[in-house]
Chain A
Amino acid sequence: MKLAPVSLQFHAVLVILCLFVCVPAQAQSPSAVLAGTVTSQSGTGIAKAAVTIKNMTTGQSTTATTNSTGFFSATNLAAGTYEVSASADGFTVDTEHITLAAGETQHVKFSLIPPLSLSNLGFAPSQTQGNAQEQARLNKRSHMLQMHQRLGLITLVPLVATVVSGGFAGGHSTSSADRDFHAALGSTTAGLYFATAYYAIFAPKIPGTKTEGAIKWHKALAWVHGPGMILTPILGAMAFDQKSKGEKVHGIAQAHGAVAIVTAAAYGAAILSVSINPQTKHHLASIFEFHHSHRSHAALGDEAFLGE
């Protein structure tokens, strides 16, 4: 029998009603049914998604798993309030609270979304992927600079001792023992200094790094104490030789003491430049400004004074 178009529409209505309305006709049954689908945001059913139905009164949980189309159903549920959670690998958990009446069948639809990832934020893979070689270079750099720091502090001790002993090594009344002691301290200082410098000079450079901050002054001061630390022993050896011959120190050897003082001062300033608390420096700066109020702050240059 050929159906008229109106009858077709009527049948369509019946089918839909059966899907969504006829199910509650099972209301005579004392137990309730929860059915539904778990889909991705695009609407595709997610297979093997886990659905946990927890009775909020008894705490008992029932689990269901979706079929290949993402459909699930759980039967024999007691009337009550349930917390229903759907989860699947690669998706976030979605939770619903549902109240089931005795004999009722309810449908619930879960639309799971994948967890946000770095690709959602627009970072390039090169920004988010680790680089073991780069890390090894950083590790080596840090290790060498730590050695540089330790040796630098150790060097400070014989350096100060050398400067102090220098006061007893010069002049007319000095003994050769004083000069020998001063020379020995100076040699120790020079040896430690060059070992310290080695660790800074040969620490791996990190490409693309612009030198900023206190380290700029630390490096700049090295151009003072570095040549000074080469020149001072040379001049010292000349002075030593002249004194040993019973001569008065003359010529460029006379500059030994001055060069040594400048070198030691630059060395101390280099250590301070990376050691002093910036807040302390600001405090010192304010005191300095108070006592030199006639000099403008701008002319002084805050950063120059602070060594940063």
Chain B
Amino acid sequence: MNRKIVLIVLLLVFPLIARADSQWVLDKCTLTYHVDHPLHHVEGVSSAARGKGVCQAGECQFLIAVPVKSFNSDDSNRDLHMLQITRGAMYPMVVVRTEVPESALNSSTIHANLQIQFAGQTADYKDVPFQLTRSGKDVHLTGTIPAKCTDFKIDPPKLLTMPIKNDIPVIVDAVWSPS
């Protein structure tokens, strides 16, 4: 009789049990911003990003954050100027949020809607394409975020009175692992 009760309860309650969640953690990540000036092409690289993803009911939310001061362009003076102009001491983190369907993690390309907080501003980027490749359980993600100075109200810095271009694309190369 007891076993029957358990069976009935399980059968009735099963559909009501909360769906299983899965979580992802950012294993490796390189973010590279590109700045163009008539006299310079500058790349700043950071490998200090951290990220986490939580999937529930077929939807995954991801959060990636990286300290602004972790970007290195091989020139300390330029990096400090970048930190100043992006208000990096007041807003020390670049925070990226996105939500994607869990099923998209199995495809080779996803188009993500990104919400990026940077320099005290929030900008939304729609349908940013990322390429995904599976390596065992890990997912390798690459893509470019088409960021612009004006998106974050950053006054384009000048060298020899010439400002940099408004486009500051950020190349993302990240490996996500299930946790």
Which residues from chain A sit less than 8 Å from chain B, CB to CB?
A: 6, 9-10, 12-13, 16-17, 19-21, 39, 41, 92, 94-96, 107-109, 111, 113, 115-118, 120-123, 127-132, 134-135, 137-139, 141-142, 145, 149, 153, 206, 209-215, 218, 274-280, 308
A277 touches B57 (CB 8 A): no
A10 to B5, CA, bound (A): 9
Q: Are A277 and B41 in contact (CB under 8 A)?
A: yes
Which residues on B sit within 8 Å (CB–CB) of A206?
80
Residues of B within 8 A of A117 (CB): 63
Of B5, B63, B91, the contact of A9 (CB 8 Å cutoff): B5
* CB of B11 to closest CB in A, whole Å: 9
Docked-complex contact B16 and A113, CB < 8 angstroms? no
Tell me if B93 counts as interface (CB < 8 A to partner A).
yes
Per-position 1/0 for B74-99, Cβ under 8 A of A: 11111011011101111111010100
Which residues of B from 40 to 55 have beta carbons under 8 Å from A?
40-41, 50-54
CB distance from B87 to the nearest CB of A (A): 6
A279 to B4, CA, bound (A): 77
State the B residues within 8 Å of A (CB).
Answer: 1-2, 4-5, 8-9, 12-13, 15-19, 21, 39-41, 50-54, 56-57, 59, 61-63, 65, 67, 73-78, 80-81, 83-85, 87-93, 95, 97, 159-160
Given A16-B8, A210-B76, 16 more A-B residue pairs with CB atoms under 8 Å apart are A13-B5, A13-B8, A17-B12, A108-B16, A111-B56, A115-B61, A121-B63, A127-B93, A130-B90, A132-B90, A137-B89, A138-B89, A214-B75, A218-B77, A274-B77, A277-B40
Complex: how many Å from CA A16 to CA B6?
Answer: 11
Nearest 7 A/B pairs, CB to CB: A213-B75, A116-B63, A134-B89, A135-B89, A215-B77, A138-B84, A111-B18
Chain B residue numbers with a CB within 8 Å of A111 are 18-19, 56
Q: Can you list 20 contacts pairing A with B, beta carbon distance less than 8 Å?
A: A6-B1, A10-B1, A95-B57, A95-B59, A96-B57, A107-B16, A109-B17, A111-B18, A115-B61, A115-B63, A118-B93, A121-B63, A122-B50, A128-B92, A138-B80, A142-B84, A145-B77, A145-B81, A277-B41, A280-B39
Evaluate contact between A135 and B90: CB separation under 8 angstroms.
yes
Residue of B nearest to A280 (CB): B39
* Alpha-carbon gap, A218 to B166, bound state (A): 27
A116 B54 Cβ-Cβ under 8 A: yes
Residues of A within 8 A of B65 (CB): 118, 121, 123, 128
Cα distance, A275 to B75, chains bound together (Å): 13
Q: How far is the CA of A308 from the CA of B78 in the complex (A)?
A: 13
Chain B residues within an 8 Å CB radius of A115: 61, 63, 97
Q: CB distance B56 to A142 under 8 Å? A: no
| Cα of A92 to Cα of B21 in the assembled complex, Å | 14
Residue of A whose beta carbon sits closest to that of B11: A20
A121 to B61 CA separation, bound complex (whole angstroms): 14
Is B76 within 8 A of A130, CB to CB? no
Contact B39 A131 (CB under 8 A): no
In the bound assembly, the distance between CA atoms of A132 and B89 in angstroms comes to: 7
- Whether the pair B80, A16 counts as a contact (CB closer than 8 A) is no
In the complex, chain A residues whose CB is within 8 Å of the CB of B50: 121-123
Contact B54 A113 (CB under 8 A): yes
Closest to B158 in A: A146
B57 adjacent to A116 (CB under 8 Å): no
The reply to whether A276 and B63 contact each other, CB–CB distance below 8 Å, is no
Q: Among the interface residues B16, B57, B80, B89, which one has the most CB atoms of the partner chain A within 10 A? A: B89
Q: Kindly list chain B residues whose C-beta atoms are within 8 Å of the C-beta of A131.
A: 89-90, 92
Which of B5, B75, B92, B97 has a CB less than 8 Å from the CB of A215?
B75
Question: Is the beta-carbon distance between A141 and B67 smaller than 8 angstroms?
Answer: no
Which residues of chain A come closer than 8 Å to B41, judged between CB atoms? 277-279
Whole-angstrom CA separation of A9 from B6 in the bound complex: 11
